[in-house]
Structure 1
């Protein structure tokens, strides 16, 4: 992680703020997929899990916290905003 400039934890020691987002994501995944299905093999489960995350959750499932966009739409909009040149306003001229 350090080689890629990623911090392993953003919270302080002893708090659970780092885990809250992932716990929420796993809860949603279980409610929307796991508790509604059963699989005959591990491969079936892994393929369905991948299809659910990459084929639906990231591409189609809109989220309130992302401005009612899917994660893919939000990320594309963010990258587009980063690519736009920023303009620096001209300094006002002073008259004396």
Structure 2
């Protein structure tokens, strides 16, 4: 592939992943990274991971939150919005609970953002008896799978493409995630299968 690209004068799309800066809230407890000692998931709904990223829309930024199943790398819920808050992250997580209905031993991993440490989010996780795991300080690679998804999304969909409205952007992200990433895009970490194939769906 690399040789053919060189011969045709082609270059791979590369997108820079922008990290958001969140205000520190010392009253909101950070948790250990329980993934470090956990067994690798061998079925769906054992380990989930979530994060939020910026996407530039005209002269402003909007936010994309996702919940990813770490067994299949499938994006099981996502939400695009104009403001970042605990309610925004919680709504994305609630949608994942509704669609997947995981058992009470789920491990849910995130970074240390205040939207995940917020009391409302913690209450929702306790309601579903979820064990919440967080990145170690300064270790964004602890959540590498979601970071990889964001980099892929920005490189394959958003790089060198301008969207004018939130509605237009939402439409394209929906098509990318639901019509391509989950169902058509092959993942080397899954033995070159799609997330849906890896889960045995379809």
Give 1:36-55 correspondences, 5 Å limit.
Answer: 36-55=160-179
1:7 and 2:131 aligned: yes
5+ residue gaps, structure 1: 78-96
User: Residue 133 of structure 2: SS of its match in structure 1?
Assistant: coil
The list of structure 1 runs, each at least 4 consecutive aligned residues, that deviate by more than 4 angstroms after superposition, is none
Q: Distance in 2 between matches of 1:61 and 1:29?
A: 11
Give 1:50-69 correspondences, 5 Å limit.
Answer: 50-69=174-193
1:58/1:70 contact within 8 Å kept: yes
Q: Number of residue pairs matched? A: 76
Cα 1:5–1:74 change in 2 (3 A) is farther
Q: Distance in 2 between matches of 1:58 and 1:70?
A: 6
RMSD, aligned CA: 1.9
1:71 and 2:184 aligned: no
- Kindly indicate whether structure 1 or structure 2 has the higher relative contact order, using CA contacts under 8 Å at least 6 residues apart: 2
- When the two structures are superposed, what TM-score results if normalisation uses the length of structure 1? 0.67
- When the two structures are superposed, what TM-score results if normalisation uses the length of structure 2? 0.34
Q: How many angstroms does 1:55 deviate by?
A: 0.5
1:27 and 2:151 aligned: yes
